[in-house]
Amino acid sequence: MANLKEIRNRIASVSSTMQITSAMKMVSAAKLKKAQDAITAMRPYANTLTELLQNLSGSIEDASGSAYANERPVEKVLLVAITSNRGLCGGFNSSIIKKIIAQRNGVYAGKQVEVFTIGKKGNDILSKEFTVTDNRGDVFDDLTFANVAAVADQLMELYASGAYDRIDLVYNRFKNAATQIVTPEQFLPIVPVTEKTASTSDYIYEPAQAEIVSMLIPKALKTQLFKALRDSFASEHGARMTAMHKATDNATELRDQLKLTYNKARQAAITNEILEIVGGAEALNG
């Protein structure tokens, strides 16, 4: 059995760790509330913009200026891996990395697959297995639409120039604090709209319908990427809060076990001292 000093040191160490994980849990909970409100408020706008684009989609073919709607045989694929810049968030980052590898070996088997990372953690791991064209984890330092739009422009230029035949986003979609859903999502070319989803409503367009569509497409793509990053940001804080909650519970349980072990060791030490005193007294009397 470990001596009392070693056990006391372990109790102090575990208690210190428990304070850190508990503080991180509270910080993540506060940040989660703000991030959750942001993605909840944004989803109706993003969905409405998508529906509007679908309603106008009949003129996409006429909007030849939209190089983002042109489909071509898929030979070269760019996967945009959206992870976090920091760890300590459970399986949040590893699930994205596993999905990227699964996409390469499954859906895009035999294709040339490269990765564009948004987040330091994904870049650190994926750069060992893939060609990483760029890492834009800096957008999480100031997650605004303007900063995300610059990244979207970069991706749109890569597709329009013919560098890639398809670009997919892979990110964690926020459901609740305990649940994040790994979501692969086609970014480019624009997902074709079926007749069932397109609206048949009659509208009068000003300016021309094709012009409206050509202006809406870049805005819709930027909004799509911004929503994915907002989802991922909220998911990160949810995952970290859950991970720190579990870590705090585990530390509490370990501390209690160590205290029990300490009390048993202390009791055994006191019993041994009493026995030694009694034994010495009897030897003197004898």
**Is 89 part of the annotated catalytic residue set?**
yes
Catalytic choice (32, 77, 78, 89):
89
How far is the C-alpha of 166 from the C-alpha of 171, rounded, in Å?
16
Strands 166-176 and 76-82: parallel
* Catalytic sites, residue numbers: 89
